Chain A
Amino acid sequence: MIQFDAVHKRFPNGTTAVHDLSLEMPEGGVTVLVGSSGCGKTTTLRMINRMIEPTSGTIRVGGKDVTRQDAAELRRSIGYVIQQSGLFPHRTVLDNVATVPLLLGWNRKKARARAAELLETVGLAADAGKRYPHQLSGGQQQRVGVARALAADPPVLLMDEPFGAVDPVVRTQLQDELLRLQKELSKTIVFVTHDVDEAVRLGDQIAIFRTGGHLVQCATPAELLARPADDFVAGFLGAERGLKLLSLKTLADVPQGPAPEGGTWTLVLDERRRPRHWASKETELPVRPLRDTDSLLSALDESLASPTGLVARVDADGVLTGVSSRDDIHEHAGRAHTEARVAA
C-alpha cells in the first residue's frame, strides 16, 4: 500500500504542484491519477520514487517512509514505466530489461534469463531480445518498457502516461495486456494519464486532480461516473458519462432467447454454429457476436447496428448461445444506471 499523508509540493519558482494531498493507493490495485496538464498528477507519481522530493508531508510505501530510505535502492524496488519507453538506445532489448536485476547484483546470466522470461510475459518474440530499441515499433518498445519495470519483480509499479505516444489500436492492445498481466501479478500500480477512457478501463480507483494540485475526488470508476463530486469532475468525465458507465457493466445478466426464424432477416451460421452475418432476400449485413464478458456499451452499440435490433450471443469458442433484444439490453442499461446512482 502507498500512503500520502498531507503531502505538499512547492517548486522553487513558487508554483504549488501538489496541495495537501492525503490519499491511499491500495495494495494490489490500480490507482489512476487523472487531470489536465499541470494538475500535479505526474509530480504526485514522481514523489513516490523520490524523483521529486515533497516539500512537506510523508509518503509511505509498504509502511516505510520513502525519504528515510536510500533513493537509489528505493527506486530499484519500484518499477517505473515512462512515455516513449525511455529505453537505453545503446543496449539490446534483453539488456534493457535486465537493467535493474544487474543493479541489484545478479550475475549476467541469471539477469538475462529473467529478462528473456519477461519478454515472453509481455508478449514479445524471443528474438526481439537481440535487437536494439530503435529496431522495434512504438508499441513493442512500450512492452519492453513494461518488461523492464517488472524485471526485479517489484511490488509497486509507477506508470507515467506509458501509452500516450502510441496509436489508438496499439493503445487498446497494451491496455488489454496490462489488465491481463495485472490479473496474474497483482501489483500495486499507480498510473498517470489524461485520458478519461483509459482511466475508466484500467483503474480500480481513480483520483481526479484539478489545476493547483488539488485532489477533487477519489473513487471507483463506477462511483465516479455515477456520482461525480462536483461540476469540475462531471465536466472532466465528459458528456457521455452514462455510456462510459455502461462500459464497466457486462452483458452476462441480460436474458437471451433462441434466434428467430422466418422474419425478413435471418442470422446465418457457419457449420460450427458460429454467426456469420444477417441475411435478407436482397442483401447481407455484418454481425458482431458478443460474449458474456463484453460490456453493456458494446451490446447497446451492436443492438443499434443490427438490422433486427437483436444481439447475437456466443460462448468462448464463438458458438451461438442465443440472442438478446434491444429492449432487454436497454432495460438492463437503465437499471445499471439507477443502481449506481442510488448505491451508497
Chain B
Amino acid sequence: MTIDWSWIGDHTDDLTSLTLSHLQAAMTAVFFGVLISLPLAVIAHRIRPLRGFLLGVSNVLFTIPSIAIFVLLLPVSGLTRTTTVIGLTVYTLVVLLRNTVEGLDSVPAKTKEAAKAMGTRPLRTLLTVEFPLALPVIMAGVRIATVMSISLVSVATYIGDGGLGQLFTDGFQRDFPTPVIVGVVLTILLAVVADALLVALQYVLTPWRRRRA
C-alpha cells in the first residue's frame, strides 16, 4: 500500500474544506448536546424519580445503530447536514447527561448549604456554585462526546454528508488507498487537537484546581 503524495498535493483545498466540514458537524452536535444535557441533568439531579428515566432514555438512544438513526431521520430532515447533526447529538447525550448529573452530584452538600445559608437563591447557586464545581466532571464528558462525534461523522457519508468520511468511500470505490489513509490520519489528528484544546479550556476555566496546598 503506497501513498500517492501528488494526489494529496492536488487536493489540499478539498481536504481543507472536508476537514472543516467534519469539524463543524461534530462541534455543532456537541454544542447542542451540551445545551440539551444541562437542563435535563439539572432535572435528573433535583428530581430523583426522573433520574433513572432520563438516563435510561439516553442509554436506549445510544443503542440505536448509527446508520439506523440517520435512516430514521430521513423522512424528517432529508439528506441534509441537519440529519447528521441530529444523529450525532443523540449520541452525545448519553455521556453528556450522565457526566453532568454525576458532576452535580459531586458538589459537596456542605458547600451548597453554605451558599443557601449566605442567602444565595437556588438559580444563582446553580450557576455560580454547582456548575463551576461540577465542571471537571462535565468537561470529561464533553471530551468523550467530542472525540466520539469526530469519529462518528464519517458514518453520515451514507446520507451524502460525512466530512472526511467521503474520502473513505472515494478510496474504496476506486480501490485507491491514499484518500482512505489521509482520511484516517486527518480524523485522528482532528480528535487529538480538539481534545487538547478542551483540556486547555478546562485549565483556563478551573483556576482553583491548578494550585496545590
Contacts and interface: CB of A to CB of B under 8 A. Distances in A.
Contacts of B46: none
B17 interface: no
Contact of B111 (A49, A86, A100, A134): A86
Contact of B118 (A84, A103, A131): A103
Contacts, number: 63
Interface of B: 108, 110-111, 113-121, 124, 129, 132-133, 206, 208, 211-213
27 contacts: A49-B117, A51-B113, A72-B119, A72-B120, A73-B119, A74-B119, A75-B118, A80-B117, A80-B118, A82-B117, A86-B114, A88-B114, A88-B115, A88-B129, A89-B108, A89-B208, A90-B129, A90-B133, A90-B206, A92-B208, A99-B118, A103-B119, A103-B124, A131-B211, A134-B213, A135-B213, A148-B118
A132 B119 contact: no
A82 B110 contact: yes
Nearest to A135: B213
Interface string A145-159: 000100000000000
Contacts of B116: 51, 75
Nearest to A83: B110
Contacts of B132: 90
Nearest to B117: A80
A134 B209 CA distance: 10
Given A80-B118, A90-B132, 7 more contacts: A75-B118, A75-B119, A82-B114, A86-B117, A90-B129, A132-B208, A134-B213
Interface string A81-107: 010101111111000000110010000
Nearest to B213: A135
Interface in A57-85: 72-77, 80, 82, 84
Contacts of B124: 103
